[in-house]
Chains A and B, each alone.
Chain A
Amino acid sequence: MSTTVAPHAGAVSGPAEGAGQRRPPSFFLLAPSVAVLLLWMIVPLALTLWFSFQRYNLLDPTVGGFAGLDNYEFLVTDPDFWAALANTLVLVGSVLAITVVGGTLLAVLFDQEFPGRNVARLLAIAPFFVMPTVSALVWKNLMMHPIYGVLGSVARGLGLEPVDWFADYPMFSVIVIVAWQWLPFALLILLTAVQSLDHEQKEAARMDGAGPVSQFFFITLPHLGRAISVVVMIETIFLLTVFAEIFVTTSGGPGNATTNLAFLIYARALLQFDVGGGSAGGVVAIILANIVAFFLVRTIARRLEV
Chain B
Amino acid sequence: MKQTAAQRALIAALAWGVALLLFFPILWMVLTSFKSEVAAIATPPQLLFEPTLESYAEVQSRAEYLRFALNSVVVSLGGTLLALAFAVPAAYSMAFHPTERTRGTLLWMLSTKMLPPVGVLVPIYLLFRTVGALDTRTGLVVIYALMNLPILVWMLFTFFKEVPKEILEAGRMDGARTGGEFWHLLLPLTLPGIASTGLLSLILCWNEAFWSLNLTSSEAAPLTAFIASFSSPQGLFFAKLSAASTMAVAPILVFGWLSQRQLVRGLTFGAVK
A-side residues, CB < 8 A to B, are 1-2, 4-5, 8-9, 11-14, 24-27, 29-30, 32-34, 36-37, 40-41, 43-45, 47-48, 51, 58, 106, 109-110, 112-117, 120-135, 137-139, 141-143, 147-148, 150, 153, 156-157, 180, 183-184, 188-193, 195-196, 226-227, 230, 233-234, 236-237, 240-241, 243-244, 248, 261-262, 265-266, 269-270, 275, 278-279, 281-283, 285-286, 288-290, 292-293, 297-298, 301, 304-306
Tell which of B14, B127, B151, B249 touches A131, judged by Cβ atoms closer than 8 Å. Answer: B249
Please encode chain B, from 160 to 180, with 1 for each CB lying within 8 Å of some chain A CB and 0 for all others. Answer: 010001000100100101110
Which chain A residues lie closer than 8 Å to B90 at the CB level?
A: 29-30, 32-34
Q: CB of B216 within 8 A of chain A?
A: no
Complex CA distance for A137 and B244, rounded to whole angstroms: 11
With contacts A129-B252, A265-B118, A289-B114 known, is A109 near B14, CB below 8 A? yes
Interface stretch (choices B22-30, B55-63, B133-141, B183-191): B22-30
With contacts A43-B127, A125-B260, A142-B32 known, is A114 near B272, CB below 8 A? no
Residues facing A in B83-140 (CB within 8 A) are 86-87, 89-90, 92-94, 96-99, 102-103, 105-107, 109-124, 126-127
Please encode chain B, from 3 to 30, with 1 for each CB lying within 8 Å of some chain A CB and 0 for all others. Answer: 0000010011011101110111110110
Closest to B95 in A: A26
Complex CA distance for A58 and B45, rounded to whole angstroms: 47
Q: CB of B253 within 8 A of chain A?
A: yes
Which chain A residues lie closer than 8 Å to B268 at the CB level?
A: 192-193, 195-196
Question: Do A124 and B19 have beta carbons less than 8 Å apart?
Answer: yes
Question: Do A192 and B106 have beta carbons less than 8 Å apart?
Answer: no
Q: How far is the CB of A195 from chain B (nearest CB, A)?
A: 7
With contacts A26-B96, A123-B19, A128-B256 known, is A237 near B113, CB below 8 A? yes
Complex CA distance for A123 and B179, rounded to whole angstroms: 42
Complex CA distance for A106 and B18, rounded to whole angstroms: 8
Which chain A residues lie closer than 8 Å to B224 at the CB level?
A: 131, 133
Which chain A residues lie closer than 8 Å to B169 at the CB level?
A: 4
Complex CA distance for A133 and B207, rounded to whole angstroms: 8
Complex CA distance for A188 and B20, rounded to whole angstroms: 16
Most buried by B among A2, A29, A48, A125: A29
Question: Do A14 and B146 have beta carbons less than 8 Å apart?
Answer: no
Complex CA distance for A234 and B118, rounded to whole angstroms: 20
Question: Do A126 and B253 have beta carbons less than 8 Å apart?
Answer: yes
- Interface size bracket, B side: 35 or more
Question: Do B41 and A148 have beta carbons less than 8 Å apart?
Answer: yes
Question: Do A41 and B112 have beta carbons less than 8 Å apart?
Answer: yes
Question: Do A230 and B15 have beta carbons less than 8 Å apart?
Answer: no
Mind listing 6 A-B residue pairs with CB under 8 Å? A9-B178, A36-B146, A131-B227, A132-B209, A153-B44, A227-B272
Q: CB of B69 within 8 A of chain A?
A: no
Question: Do A139 and B25 have beta carbons less than 8 Å apart?
Answer: yes
Most buried by A among B123, B169, B264: B123
Q: Interface SS of chain B: helix, strand, loop or mixed?
A: helix
Question: Do B123 and A297 have beta carbons less than 8 Å apart?
Answer: no
With contacts A44-B120, A131-B249, A180-B25 known, is A37 near B112, CB below 8 A? yes
Complex CA distance for A124 and B15, rounded to whole angstroms: 9
Question: Do B248 and A134 have beta carbons less than 8 Å apart?
Answer: yes
Q: How far is the CB of B73 from chain A (nearest CB, A)?
A: 15
Given A26-B93, A123-B20, A306-B103, output 15 extra A-B contacts at Cβ < 8 Å: A24-B97, A24-B99, A30-B90, A30-B93, A33-B153, A37-B112, A40-B112, A43-B127, A114-B15, A124-B18, A125-B260, A130-B249, A143-B28, A192-B264, A234-B151
Complex CA distance for A2 and B124, rounded to whole angstroms: 40
Q: How far is the CB of A206 from chain B (nearest CB, A)?
A: 8
Q: How far is the CB of A151 from chain B (nearest CB, A)?
A: 10
Q: CB of B48 within 8 A of chain A?
A: no
With contacts A26-B93, A110-B15 known, is A270 near B103, CB below 8 A? no
Complex CA distance for A115 and B224, rounded to whole angstroms: 37
Question: Do A29 and B165 have beta carbons less than 8 Å apart?
Answer: no
Question: Do B43 and A147 have beta carbons less than 8 Å apart?
Answer: yes
Tell which of A51, A114, A188, A301 touches B264, judged by Cβ atoms closer than 8 Å. Answer: A188
Q: How far is the CB of A106 from chain B (nearest CB, A)?
A: 6
Question: Do B249 and A134 have beta carbons less than 8 Å apart?
Answer: yes
Q: How far is the CB of A235 from chain B (nearest CB, A)?
A: 11
Complex CA distance for A30 and B229, rounded to whole angstroms: 42
